[in-house]
A and B are shown apart, each in its own frame.
Chain A
Amino acid sequence: EAQVTQNPRYLITVTGKKLTVTCSQNMNHEYMSWYRQDPGLGLRQIYYSMNVEVTDKGDVPEGYKVSRKEKRNFPLILESPSPNQTSLYFCASSERPSPYNEQFFGPGTRLTVL
């Protein structure tokens, strides 16, 4: 089944403890992206990647890192999480970085930073 998977789905952690949220797609998509969703603010793009080893900042990249060493994986790294990073995170992918190609979203990861 074609899908975008994220792990973990739920995570509670403490301030300063490094964490990684994994994202994987099995559709051979070039474009992958991370968003955070907060009440009243909608979805905001954190980072995106046009292909392996090509990443760029979205609107809210502060406090996050990403890497794209393989086409299928695009992990989101929080080196020193803070409470303002408590949010619902979505990974998405599309065949190409183009409006002609639909973005497919993962199920979301709900992160709480205490």
Chain B
Amino acid sequence: AQSVSQHNHHVILSEAASLELGCNYSYGGTVNLFWYVQYPGQHLQLLLKYFSGDPLVKGIKGFEAEFIKSKFSFNLRKPSVQWSDTAEYFCAGQGSGTYKYIFGTGTRLKVLA
């Protein structure tokens, strides 16, 4: 069955710390992968996406993610977090050629000033 897993449910970091949020997927074929962010009281918005090409993708606000096919992973990274990065982060997948999206359970990030 298709699935997207996020194992870190809550993460607390101090400002300037480096961030890595895990995302693993399980799909039968080619998959498109996304990271979305939901800031407190705001809509979900897209951070970055991967569908082919360079496995290291850069998104908005200094975030990047690396698609590692051998590990079925698409981890989100940021070298130095800020207080304003406090939010909930969702990894999502879409099987290539399908119209369905599967989201992970989310990771709540709290950055301490």
Contact = CB atoms under 8 A, between A and B. Distances in A.
Given A42-B106, A99-B51, A100-B51, A58 B46 contact: no
B44 A56 contact: no
A45 interface: yes
Is chain A's binding surface mostly helix, strand, loop or mixed? strand
B67 interface: no
B43 A107 contact: yes
A113 B113 CA distance: 39
Interface stretch (A20-28, A33-41, A64-72): A33-41
| Size range of the chain A interface in the assembly | 20 to 34
B75 interface: no
Contacts of A53: none
B49 A40 contact: no
A105 B105 contact: no
A103 interface: yes
B46 A103 contact: yes
A108 B102 CA distance: 18
Contact of B102 (A59, A100, A102, A104): A59
Given A42-B105, A43-B90, A105-B44, A99 B32 contact: yes
A75 interface: no
Contacts of A43: 44, 90, 92, 103, 106
A27 B72 CA distance: 34
A56 B92 CA distance: 19
B99 A42 contact: no
Nearest to B41: A107
Going nearest first, the 6 A-B pairs with the smallest beta carbon separation are: A99-B32, A42-B105, A43-B103, A105-B44, A99-B51, A97-B99
Interface of A: 4, 31, 33, 35, 40-45, 48, 50, 56, 58-59, 90, 92, 97, 99-100, 102-108
